[in-house]
Amino acid sequence: MKAYLAGEVFTVTAGECLFLPRRKPHAWLITSGEFHTIAVITPGGFNDALNKMTLRQSGELVSIL
């Protein structure tokens, strides 16, 4: 996985941890065919924002839950 944080790009490999602070521009790119993650996101309700931002090519909403 590649992670972008405030103008820098980091490579994150299996077993590593990444902290993405709020109010800092950040994004991630999955670079492998298989990806497993545990994400802790606070405050609650952020899943709604992710669902609004996640669209398939057809424009159909993809549920992340």
Q: pTM for the whole thing?
A: 0.56
Nearest to residue 14, comparing CAs of 29, 42, 30, 36? 36
65 domain-assigned:
no
49 domain-assigned:
yes
Looking at residue 11, what is its pLDDT?
A: 93
Domains identified in the chain, total number:
1
Q: What span, in angstroms and rounded, lies between the C-alpha atoms of 65 and 44?
A: 14
10 domain-assigned:
yes
37 domain-assigned:
yes
The distance in angstroms from the start CA to the end CA of the chain is 21
Range of the domain at 7: 2-53
Determine the residue type at 53.
Answer: M
**Neighbour order of strands in the sheet with 8-11:** 8-11, 2-5, 26-29
62 domain-assigned:
no
Residue 19 contacts residue 26 (beta carbons within 8 Å): no
60 domain-assigned:
no
**Is the pLDDT assigned to residue 57 strictly greater than 60?**
no
Provide the pLDDT confidence category of residue 36 given band limits of 50, 70 and 90. Answer: confident
35 domain-assigned:
yes
